[in-house]
Chain A
Amino acid sequence: MSVSEERSWTARVRGRAVAALPPDKLLPDKQPAYVASWIYVFGVLSLSSLVVIIASGSILALKGPGWWHFTGVGLFFNSIHLWSVELFFFVMVIHLWGKFWMAAWRGGRARVWITGAVTFLVAIPCALTGYVSQQNFDAQWISTQAKDAMNSVGIGAFFNLLNFGQMYSYHVLLLPAAVVGIVIAHILLVRKHGVVPPFSLPAEPTDSEPSS
């Protein structure tokens, strides 16, 4: 590396990024044989649900509450948004169970596990702020009940569930941006470390080593 390249932060970042994630690791065309199991599918199912959530949510944000409450197509997209969230949590929990029981933090994958767990935790308020962003009586009732709940656990001073503008910006910007950002980090870490292998079975006894 020349002196000018050493001084350039873009060259240093590029060098570190390519060293950590060379193109064949970033976009692999082969996976180990053990990945051929349905339990390994739930990560990409979570990702697919997230894409539908972001796409349907973007359309809802574009059209507004009058559209999503009072037109047929609006109600359809409202339902798509709700059920893609239901599906997201459904498959994400199964993904979490699968990775927990195979101890997916093995082999230097602690950050992969942590980013996955944090995604789950951040996705919960992201979904809950959706209930108070509906702009109907349900949202009003839920926000007052939730305000009491937040106050009772001592965190009600940090945000106000009765403030629609605040909750809506949490729901459509801050929390989705956090979820998407952490998910991108999670995927890049999976690419870097590879998919976690299953536990190896104990060696089968041979004829010369009878089992006790």
Chain B
Amino acid sequence: MAAIVNLNHHANYVHWHFFQMSVSNIVVIVLMVIVFAVAILAPFPGHVGGKSS
């Protein structure tokens, strides 16, 4: 069964001066930052900006 993404090759890396990281790790970190921002900004269902009890 074929994988959705072909992983049968060496990992791609971003290398800039001392910074070196695989593209897959960068993608995961960017996704975490996006999910973190969404978790703070997105309204929670069933709760319309009420004050703390």
Interface set of A (CB-CB < 8 Å, partner B): 32-34, 36-39, 41-42, 90, 93-94, 97-98, 197-198
A94 nearest CB across to chain B (Å): 5
- The answer to whether B47 and A38 touch across the interface, beta carbons within 8 angstroms, is no
Partner of A197, one of B31, B32, B40, B52: B52
Nearest CB in chain B to that of A30: its residue: B53
* Chain B, Cβ-Cβ closest to A37: B44
B interface residues, Cβ below 8 angstroms from A: 28, 31-32, 35-36, 38-40, 42, 44, 46-47, 50-53
What is the CA–CA distance of A105 and B47 in the complex, to the nearest angstrom?
26
**A-B contact sample (9 more), CB < 8 A, given A38-B44, A98-B36:** A33-B47, A33-B53, A36-B47, A37-B47, A39-B36, A39-B40, A90-B28, A94-B35, A94-B39
Q: A33-B51, A36-B44 are in contact. Are A41 and B32 (CB under 8 A)?
A: no
Query: Residue of B at shortest CB range from A90?
Result: B32
Nearest CB in chain A: distance from B39 CB, A: 4
- CA distance in complex: A77, B9 (Å): 24
Residue on A with the closest CB to B40?
Answer: A39
| Chain A: CB-nearest residue to B47 | A36
- Would you call B53 and A39 a contact (CB within 8 A)? no
Smallest Cβ-Cβ distance to A197: which chain B residue: B52
Knowing A90-B28, A90-B32, A94-B32, the reply to whether A39 touches B52 (Cβ < 8 A) is no
What's the least CB distance linking B3 to chain A, in Å? 11
Q: Are B32 and A33 in contact (CB under 8 A)?
A: no
Known: A93-B32, A94-B35. A32 touches B46 (CB 8 A): no
* A90, B35: Cα distance in complex, Å: 10
Specify the chain A residue showing the minimal Cβ separation from B28: A90
Contact of B39 among A32, A41, A93 (CB under 8 A): A41
Asked if residues A39 and B39 are in contact (CB atoms below 8 Å), the reply is yes
With A90-B28, A93-B32, A197-B52 already in contact, the answer to whether A36 and B38 are too (CB < 8 A) is no
Q: Are B39 and A34 in contact (CB under 8 A)?
A: no
Contact among B31, B42, B52 for A33, CB-based, below 8 A? B52
List the A side residues contacting B47 at CB < 8 Å.
Answer: 33, 36-37
Cβ contacts under 8 Å, A93 to chain B: 32
State whether B53 touches A94 (Cβ < 8 A): no
Residue of A nearest to B31 (CB): A90
Is the pair A38, B39 in contact by a Cβ cutoff of 8 Å?
A: yes
